[in-house]
Amino acid sequence: MRTAQVLRRGAAERLTRIDAILESAYETSEGELGNKEDPLDEAIYIILSFQTDLRRFSSTWSSLRAAYPTWDAVERAPVRKIASVLREGGLHRQKARTIKQFLLAVRRFAGGLSLDALRGMNDADAEQILTRLPGLSWKGARCVLLYSLQRNAFPVDGNTFRVLKRSGILAAHAVYRRRTSHDAIQAVVPPTRRRSLHVNLVVHGQRTCLPRYPRCAECGLFSTCPRVGLPRMRMREPMASRQEEIGRLV
């Protein structure tokens, strides 16, 4: 699938309007997301976020750091003990194995447990290195680029993909796990707006455009959103029956 085919006609113009509305609503509430300044910390934080919600993986991160204050300690620890610490976040055995494999790969790449060598690389080279490490996809790599390396990357997490598909930016056949989708969205967002828009889309996906019962009546995008793929019955659910969902960061 070519990059251009991932986006609907008029996507750039519609995205500009969405950016303005969400910025007014959320003012880039970055502190809610808890991302890390150190690239190694951020990479492991993203690994913990796989298929769980923000509250649980933030708590799991705190538990991991309390049990193992250094990554050297994690590297020496048995997988089963790391897994027991990660239990609350789900997929704890898989994540424990991935983190151990990740740290081994980082040591082989950098000669130690640090990703500071990426700071001197250009975006393309740094992203290539990151995506070769166990547990990191394009989304994870671009989170490290954005939050830790201060680059104008645009990570596309599950919240972002869901909001942009429902709001008519992405074509109905766009697939999350294809790089063309990630590249197409990044290309259409002006570099100076990537950080703010990413944060606002994630927050919007967690607070309002929820996976199962989106709060359409409370959404600032309601009047212009075509709500692609969203059954009408879900928009009519009474408030008392809606689950207090948290958008997944995948």
**pLDDT value of residue 242:** 41
pLDDT (tens, 9 = 90+) of the chain, 250 residues, equals: 455 589 999 999 999 999 999 999 999 989 889 999 999 999 999 999 998 888 899 999 999 999 999 999 999 999 999 999 999 899 999 999 999 999 999 999 999 999 999 999 999 999 999 999 999 999 999 999 999 999 999 999 999 999 999 999 999 889 999 999 999 999 999 999 999 999 999 999 999 999 989 999 999 999 989 999 887 645 544 343 344 444 444 4
| Structural domain boundaries enclosing 6 | 1-250
Count of domains in the chain? 1
Q: Which residues of 97-132 are buried (b: 16+ CB within 10 A; e: fewer)?
A: ebbbebbebbeeeeeeeebeebeeeeeeebbebbee
**pLDDT value of residue 243:** 41
Whichever domain contains 243, its CATH number is 1.10.340.30
**pLDDT value of residue 54:** 86
**pLDDT value of residue 113:** 98
Residue 56: what are its φ and ψ, rounded to 5°?
-70, -40
In the structure encoding, which two tokens stand for residue 175, read together?
């697939």
Q: Are the C-beta atoms of 46 and 144 separated by less than 8 Å?
A: yes
HEC letters along the chain: CCHHHHECCCHHHHHHHHHHHHHHHHCCCHHHCCCCCCHHHHHHHHHHCCCCEHHHHHHHHHHHHHHCCCHHHHHHCCHHHHHHHHHHHCCHHHHHHHHHHHHHHHHHHHCCCCCHHHHHCCHHHHHHHHHCCCCCCHHHHHHHHHHHCCCCCCCCCHHHHHHHHHCCCECCCCCCCCHHHHHHHHHHCCHHHHHHHHHHHHHHHHHCCCCCCCCHHHCCCCCCCCCCCCCHHHHCCCHHHCCCCCCECC
**pLDDT value of residue 3:** 53
Instruction: Name the residue type at position 149.
Output: L
**pLDDT value of residue 19:** 97
**pLDDT value of residue 172:** 86
**pLDDT value of residue 229:** 86
